[in-house]
């Protein structure tokens, strides 16, 4: 047996390099004629597979990958760290993998050695079975690094001594000396156990100093608190309190407050009103319909203000009280709340209410949540196939009522989709009944006219309005019964079936100072809702200037904000002094003052403490420019001009983001800065819809000129946005604002700078999240999926390359990787940095380095994450792309196929992960000369992109360009020419003629003309491409040089 080589030297009190003893070991290996010396995890995995196949019939005693998995897991996790701690060539990890591979080879080819290798490796695996609290690599902690290096030395010497003992030549000598061999192995195991105990102790101490835990949470078995989660035939048991799972799923769904909207509608209902609907024959037939009886879809429609919302709440109360175990789900759409205007919003609310109402969480929903959690999606998104999920969940729900109020308030393009989806769902499942409430507008009538319906007519609501008035009149300040009777008779007659008119009349009379004013208001009350609104506005025009200005500000904020504002938010917004351009606490109004001035057009919702318009028709009134000619000059100033309103909100929110902590701090106290969240999320939206003004542009320029403020805004947005894919939304907002700013004639910030801002914000977000975990704060911090990060980095890498700044991009990421623990931090949450750096290295042409980094990222992910985790699939795809660039086409194809099979089992073909993988695999096929296979895949991807993104989306145009390459490679030059023409035409339309992608498309078209011998056309294309590239980058840029060479080929005198 070889002597144990010392790890420490007398003159080295700190950890020393193992380079000298390792080289001595390498020399020893060379003497034995070993030709493996170094290997990696892929080599060992291949050998394990061969071993599993070789002993497949002997399942009782065979050595298998499953049995030694703890050893492989340990090496996979800690190899990167020991390679950094011990600088040597070959690296320690490569030597350990090499020894392990040689042992496995010997176990497979030499029967007499199998048992001893089997027993030894199992003993090592048992020692190295890492508890969860040690699943961290504290590479920056010297004591952990030192004990880890010692542990690796013991593993290496044990494996190598066993290999030498079991070699074919050596075994003949020692086969009769097994007892001495056992003794030596026992000594090895004793030293290994001691080394592991020391490492575990130091890792535990390090963990107590840095509690950021990234390891996968363990399972705990419990008979009472176990929940079985089934995902694609894989059953995992989560031993968590069911109430905690319910809470987590609701947090993931993040629905609008459905209970609050229902309570508000019920609060407006007078006793015994709405009974006519409940006893209506059509309603009764619908409510009692079974699977084989009448149509399960019913439509109730009426004029604005007829009381549809209160009637919908009445129906909910009735069905819940008489429906037994059949749940009734309710959703109220709203034109003034962007979170309550889409089919997805309704579906998400439906799922959340089912979680609330069901004893057991539907299995389909539990599975979807588990997948999303594993893939790092903190909010439900399109990737979760929401509509399909609802269908799957409802198949598990025996019976259900769904009531949707205000469908007419949804986005116009969403209305048909909502009606078709829920109607189809009800008629297909038959166990679901759907009831729609809305105004009678053409898009809705087109979809629902053939089914059963109930018209909310004047005669239908007459009795209800009278009941409401008798109850409401008792609250008027007057006491004379004859006056109350007069009020009742006038309002009952003029209401003409409109509940809203009756309510507005009562609220107007409540504000009267005396009987005389009450009678005057009553007699002057006009017929029709719009006339009532005009009367209120005319009254406001006679108020003192300060009250008028307050009313205008309230209407502006309530009408143009993207969601209802809470009172603290609205109060802060109303403290904005437009003349002085400051927020002044001293001019912030009282809540009662706001209500007094704006009643009855604006109402306060106590449950949510928000201010909203009393009805959709009020919003329509304020934006109807025809009212300008019907109102007095003073009253006309209350009519809102949409773009001007957005400009004032943009100015206020931009100013607010420069105040105190809002300018630099990520974590802003909402009590101290109540408008910070709204301003952070919406200033871009308001600015993009504002008319261009130099003053507003100067304010915008001051804000974006500060890199710190830009970074703070983006980081805070990532944390505060309760939406999926917030990076994509921020990127779109940046483009909207940049388009607005270009009206100045100044190009302003470039695409590259926008993406760099997002990149730096992601770095800052990681730092913030880590600091919050350490102090135990912000339990529910939003997370950004690695897929979303990688999409941004790919775009950034391309722009860096086109701008000749790829070296800068690489340097930025190298610095960040170093700052967060080096190339081998071993933290699963940091692998996105390695993926990103690998993408940049690949773009830079440093393919070997890109490959090494992607493999490091994959090794860490395989240790921490499930094998089908989306992050692993992303890394496999990136590794496949690098392998293609290294001309390792067989491995690249294998990696992309593996990723594609996993993704297609989880997502539809229209999913962006699937599309990206199809394109990557197709490019690999094309490189291998299989253009026909490549074209088929590109065509599938392209058709999916057209359905989801549209033909003019940049990714779709790139895929069309790939298709052109394939058909040209297949010899179909004329077809390639037509495709290239389409690509160029679309790029000109999307980007313009002087965009880098457009110029590249011109060069590609020129190549096809060359292939056809049309040199005049080729020369024209290459000339325009060259001139544009020189204009953008200069004549030394690689693209310009390529175009110049093409010009020479086409006959240009170079």
- Model pLDDT for residues 87-115, shown as the tens digit of each residue: 666 777 788 888 888 888 888 777 667 77
- Mind listing the pLDDT tens digit for each residue in 761-772? 888 877 777 666
| Lowest-confidence segment of 316-325, 510-519, 723-732 by average pLDDT | 723-732
CA distance 635 to 512: 21
- Mind listing the pLDDT tens digit for each residue in 375-405? 666 778 776 788 889 998 998 887 899 999 9
Residue 436 φ then ψ, to 5°? -105, 140
Q: Which residues of 213-240 are buried (b: 16+ CB within 10 A; e: fewer)?
A: ebbeeeeeeeeeeebebebeeeeeebeb
Is the Cβ–Cβ distance between 844 and 813 less than 8 Å? no
In a shared domain, residues 381 and 447: yes
Residue 676: asked if its preceding bond is cis (omega within 30°), the reply is no
In a shared domain, residues 319 and 401: yes
For 891, counting Cβ atoms within 10 Å of its Cβ (0-12 exposed, 13-18 middle, 19+ buried), the class is middle
Whole-angstrom Cα Rg for the chain: 35
Task: Establish if 841 belongs to a structural domain.
Answer: no
Task: Establish if 127 belongs to a structural domain.
Answer: yes
Q: Is the pLDDT of residue 839 over 60?
A: yes
pLDDT of residue 750: 56
Average pLDDT over residues 688-703: 92
Average pLDDT over residues 611-630: 89
Could you tell me which of 771, 822, 826, 775 has the C-alpha nearest to residue 136?
826
Is the Cβ–Cβ distance between 574 and 588 less than 8 Å? yes
Q: Is the pLDDT of residue 857 over 60?
A: yes
CA distance 124 to 565: 62
pLDDT of residue 43: 73
CA distance 832 to 1035: 36
| Lowest-confidence segment of 30-34, 344-348, 480-484 by average pLDDT | 30-34
For 994, counting Cβ atoms within 10 Å of its Cβ (0-12 exposed, 13-18 middle, 19+ buried), the class is middle
| Lowest-confidence segment of 326-340, 722-736, 845-859, 916-930 by average pLDDT | 722-736
Q: Is the pLDDT of residue 544 over 90?
A: yes
pLDDT of residue 1020: 93
In a shared domain, residues 309 and 452: yes
CA distance 760 to 712: 10
Q: For CA atoms 850, 855, 860, 864, give the dihedral sign.
A: positive
- pLDDT band (50, 70, 90) for residue 677: very high
Average pLDDT over residues 931-938: 95
Task: Establish if 496 belongs to a structural domain.
Answer: yes
Q: Is the pLDDT of residue 57 over 60?
A: no
Structure token pair of residue 613? 């318009």
Count the Cβ atoms, other than its own, within 10 Å of residue 774. 12
CA distance 407 to 1041: 58
In a shared domain, residues 136 and 199: yes
Q: Is the pLDDT of residue 670 over 70?
A: yes
- Mind listing the pLDDT tens digit for each residue in 906-926? 777 888 789 989 999 999 999
3-state secondary structure (DSSP) of residue 657: coil
pLDDT of residue 235: 35
CA distance 426 to 433: 6
In a shared domain, residues 171 and 262: no
In a shared domain, residues 341 and 396: yes
In a shared domain, residues 399 and 414: yes
Could you tell me which of 478, 371, 445 has the C-alpha nearest to residue 785?
371
Task: Establish if 893 belongs to a structural domain.
Answer: no
Average pLDDT over residues 565-573: 96
- Mind listing the pLDDT tens digit for each residue in 194-206? 888 888 888 777 7
In a shared domain, residues 122 and 159: yes
Q: Which residues of 441-469 are buried (b: 16+ CB within 10 A; e: fewer)?
A: eebbeebbeebbbbebeeebbeebbbbbb
- pLDDT band (50, 70, 90) for residue 173: very low
Is the Cβ–Cβ distance between 435 and 313 less than 8 Å? no
Task: Establish if 953 belongs to a structural domain.
Answer: no
CA distance 940 to 929: 19
H or E, element range at 576: strand 576-577
Task: Answer with the one of 155, 177, 209 that is the final residue of a domain.
Answer: 209
- pLDDT band (50, 70, 90) for residue 216: very low
Average pLDDT over residues 263-282: 88
In a shared domain, residues 38 and 162: yes
In a shared domain, residues 433 and 396: yes
Average pLDDT over residues 217-240: 33
Q: Is the pLDDT of residue 812 over 80?
A: yes
Q: Bigger pLDDT: 812 or 1052? A: 812
Q: Is the pLDDT of residue 209 over 80?
A: no
Average pLDDT over residues 793-818: 80
Q: Is the pLDDT of residue 633 over 60?
A: yes
pLDDT of residue 271: 84
In a shared domain, residues 451 and 466: no
Q: Is the pLDDT of residue 1052 over 50?
A: yes
Task: Establish if 321 belongs to a structural domain.
Answer: yes
CATH of the domain at 331: 3.40.50.300
Task: Establish if 191 belongs to a structural domain.
Answer: yes
Q: Is the pLDDT of residue 225 over 60?
A: no
- The residue segments making up the domain with residue 521 are 461-525
Q: Bigger pLDDT: 22 or 902? A: 902
In a shared domain, residues 73 and 179: yes
């Amino acid at each position: 047996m070889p002597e144990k080589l010392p790890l420490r030297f007398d003159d080295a009190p700190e950890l020393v390099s193992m380079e000298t003893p390792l080289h001595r070991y390498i020399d020893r290996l060379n003497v034995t004629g070993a030709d493996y010396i170094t290997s990696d995890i892929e080599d060992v995995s291949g050998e394990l597979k061969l071993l599993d196949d070789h002993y497949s019939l002997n399942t009782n005693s065979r050595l298998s990958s499953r049995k030694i998995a703890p050893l492989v897991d340990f090496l996979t996790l800690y190899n990167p760290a020991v390679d950094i701690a011990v600088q040597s060539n070959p690296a320690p990890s490569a030597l350990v993998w090499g020894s392990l591979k040689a042992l496995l080879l010997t176990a497979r080819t030499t029967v007499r050695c199998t048992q001893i290798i089997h027993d030894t490796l199992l003993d090592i695996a048992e020692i190295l079975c890492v508890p969860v609290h040690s699943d961290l690599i504290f590479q920056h902690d010297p004591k952990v690094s030192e004990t880890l290096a010692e542990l690796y030395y013991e593993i290496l010497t044990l494996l190598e001594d066993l290999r030498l003992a079991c070699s074919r030549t050596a075994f003949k000598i020692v086969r009769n000396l097994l007892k001495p061999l056992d003794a030596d192995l026992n000594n090895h195991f004793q030293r290994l156990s001691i080394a592991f105990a020391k490492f575990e102790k130091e890792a535990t101490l390090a963990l107590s100093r840095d509690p950021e835990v990234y390891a996968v949470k363990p399972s705990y078995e419990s008979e009472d608190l176990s929940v079985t989660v089934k995902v694609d035939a894989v059953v995992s048991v989560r031993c968590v309190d069911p109430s905690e799972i319910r809470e987590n799923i609701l947090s993931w769904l993040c629905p609008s407050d459905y209970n609050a909207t229902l309570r508000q509608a019920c609060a407006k209902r007078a006793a015994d009103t709405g009974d006519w609907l409940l006893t209506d024959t059509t309603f009764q037939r619908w409510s009692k319909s079974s699977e084989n009886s009448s149509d399960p879809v019913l439509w109730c429609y009426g004029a604005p203000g007829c009381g549809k919302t209160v009637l919908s709440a009445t129906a909910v109360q009735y069905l819940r009280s008489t429906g037994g175990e059949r749940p009734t789900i309710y959703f109220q759409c709203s034109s003034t709340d962007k979170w309550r205007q889409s089919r997805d919003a309704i579906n998400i609310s439906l799922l959340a209410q089912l979680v609330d109402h069901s004893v057991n969480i539907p299995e389909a929903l539990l599975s979807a949540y588990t997948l999303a959690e594993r893939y790092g999606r903190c909010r439900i998104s399109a990737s979760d196939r929401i509509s399909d999920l609802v269908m799957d969940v409802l198949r598990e729900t025996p019976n259900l009522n769904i009531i949707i109020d205000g469908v007419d308030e949804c986005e116009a393009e969403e209305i048909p989709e909502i009606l078709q989806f829920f109607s189809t769902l009800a008629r297909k499942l038959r166990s679901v009944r759907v009831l729609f409430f809305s105004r009678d507008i053409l898009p809705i009538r087109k979809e629902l006219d053939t089914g059963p319906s109930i018209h909310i007519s004047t005669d239908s609501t007459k009795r209800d309005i009278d009941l409401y008035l008798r109850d409401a009149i008792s609250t008027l300040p007057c006491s004379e019964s004859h006056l109350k009777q007069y009020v009742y008779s006038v309002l009952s007659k003029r209401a003409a079936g409109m509940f809203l008119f009756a309510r507005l009349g009562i609220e107007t009379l409540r504000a009267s100072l005396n009987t005389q004013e009450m009678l005057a208001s009553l007699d002057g009350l006009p017929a029709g809702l719009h006339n009532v609104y005009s009367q209120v506005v005319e009254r406001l025009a006679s108020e003192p200037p300060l009250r008028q200005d307050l009313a205008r500000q309230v209407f502006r904020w309530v009408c143009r904000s993207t969601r209802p504002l809470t009172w603290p938010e609205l109060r802060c917004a109303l403290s904005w002094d437009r003349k002085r351009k400051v927020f002044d606490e001293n001019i912030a109004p009282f809540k009662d003052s706001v209500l007094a001035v704006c009643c009855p057009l604006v109402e306060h919702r106590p449950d949510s403490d928000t201010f909203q318009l009393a009805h959709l028709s009020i919003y329509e009134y304020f934006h109807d420019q025809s009212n300008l000619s019907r109102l007095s000059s003073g009253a006309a100033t209350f009519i809102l001009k949409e773009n001007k309103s957005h400009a004032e909100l943009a100015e206020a929110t931009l100013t607010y983001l420069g105040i105190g902590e809002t300018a630099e701090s990520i974590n802003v106290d909402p009590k101290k800065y109540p408008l910070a969240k709204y301003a952070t999320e919406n200033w871009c939206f308001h600015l993009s819809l504002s008319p261009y003004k130099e003053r507003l542009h100067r304010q915008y320029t001051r804000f974006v000129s500060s890199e710190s403020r830009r970074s703070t805004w983006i980081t805070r947005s990532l944390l505060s946005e309760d939406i999926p894919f917030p990076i994509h939304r921020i990127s779109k907002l940046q483009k909207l604002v940049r388009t607005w700013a270009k009206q100045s004639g100044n190009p302003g910030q470039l695409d590259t700078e926008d993406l760099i801002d997002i990149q730096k914000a992601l770095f800052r977000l990681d730092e913030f999240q880590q600091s919050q975990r350490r102090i135990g704060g912000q339990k529910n911090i939003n997370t950004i999926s690695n897929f979303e990060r990688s999409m941004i980095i790919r775009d950034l890498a391309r722009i860096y390359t086109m701008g000749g700044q790829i070296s800068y991009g690489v340097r930025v990421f190298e610095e960040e990787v170093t700052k967060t623990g080096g190339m081998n931090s071993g933290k699963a949450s940091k692998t996105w940095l390695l993926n990103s750096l690998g993408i940049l290295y690949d773009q830079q042409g440093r393919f070997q380095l890109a490959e090494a980094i992607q493999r490091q990222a994959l090794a860490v992910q395989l240790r921490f994450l499930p094998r089908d985790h989306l992050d692993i699939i992303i890394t496999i795809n990136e590794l496949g792309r690098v392998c293609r660039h290294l001309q390792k086409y067989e491995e690249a194809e294998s990696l992309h196929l593996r990723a594609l099979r996993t993704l297609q089992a989880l997502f539809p073909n229209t999913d962006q992960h699937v599309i990206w993988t199809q394109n990557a695999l197709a490019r690999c096929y094309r490189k291998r000369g299989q253009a026909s296979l490549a074209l088929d895949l590109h065509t599938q991807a392209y058709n999916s992109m057209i359905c989801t993104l549209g033909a003019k989306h940049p990714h779709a145009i790139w895929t069309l360009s790939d298709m052109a390459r394939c058909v040209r490679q297949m010899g179909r030059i004329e077809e390639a020419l037509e495709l290239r023409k389409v690509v160029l035409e679309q790029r000109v339309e999307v980007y313009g003629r002087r965009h880098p992608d457009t110029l590249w498309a011109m060069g590609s078209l020129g190549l096809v003309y060359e292939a056809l011998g049309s040199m005049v056309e080729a020369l024209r294309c290459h000339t325009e491409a060259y001139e544009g590239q020189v204009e953008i980058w200069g004549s030394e840029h690689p693209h310009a040089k390529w175009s110049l060479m093409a010009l020479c080929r086409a006959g240009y005198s170079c």
